[in-house]
A and B are shown apart, each in its own frame.
Chain A
Amino acid sequence: MSEMSKIVRTISNSLFPFIMIYGLYVIMHGHLTPGGGFQGGAVVASGCALILVAYSSGWVFKKVKESNLSILESIGAIGFISLAFLGIGVTFFYNFIAGSGLLFGEIPPVGPNSGNLNTAGLLPLMNLSVGLKVIAGLFAIVAVMAFVASRRMRKK
């Protein structure tokens, strides 16, 4: 896959930050609104895929190494399971931060409210680590597939 025209590149350049911010918003607000780690991660990864399509997979692989992506992916997964492990004093997956007043530890008010980001305990942290895993994983999948396909085309 070679580089696309300047128009495509410019437009994807200007779209990319918005897609990123929207994806990160979805990850961050996972415990309040529909969405969460996977959905936001998929949005961010699709933004990365847009860059991939606009600028050829070879260019992307000069900037990002596939092995680094898999490290990020492992860290995301380890983070998720470690957070679950932290609650093992009570039960596995026990939400010990909720209602404790720590980060994300406020007790949400009962009934309709405006949505306080600083609630829900472990859930936002888990959303973050799942988001990290999904961004790295999906981007690696798309990038590797594009890279293999483009190498194949060049051979012909």
Chain B
Amino acid sequence: MIYNIPFIVVVLLIIVGLATVVFKRNLIKIVIGITIIESGVNLFLITLGYRENSVAPIYTFAPSTKMVLPVPQALTLTSIVIGVAVMALMLSFAIRIYQHYGTLDSRKIRRLRE
């Protein structure tokens, strides 16, 4: 049971993030929602890499026990790097939209429709 707690948190984070993206009208909050989903997915990946009674894959003075395969960690790092780029670009879009429209309310930012 205790090992399932991270997965429950993952699901909770993703649901909170999705709810934020769907129900919040502020563009900044939408960006925050995306970031929350991303944290959930990252937590999921890092949890997959956990093995009981294993040590981190660092050779410096490591005890000679089992080491975990560092692939999930590498995946998470890559995904974090991508997440930074995504967030920066989205926020700069939000700044530009605020300059043009004078608002961050997604209901008012709809020149493109039909």
Contacts and interface: CB of A to CB of B under 8 A. Distances in A.
In the complex, A touching B (Cβ < 8 A): yes
Contacts, number: 40
B8 interface: no
B58 A32 contact: yes
Contact of A32 (B59, B77, B80, B88): B59
A23 to B, nearest CB: 16
Interface residues of B, number: 18
Contacts of A152: 95, 99
A145 interface: yes
Interface in B4-28: none
B92 A138 contact: no
A38 B56 contact: no
B28 to A, nearest CB: 12
Interface residues of A, number: 19
Nearest to A38: B81
A112 B55 CA distance: 12
Top 6 A-B residue pairs of the complex, sorted by shortest distance between their CB atoms: A115-B60, A141-B88, A112-B62, A38-B81, A112-B61, A148-B95
Interface of A: 32-34, 38-39, 42, 108, 111-115, 138, 141, 144-145, 148-149, 152
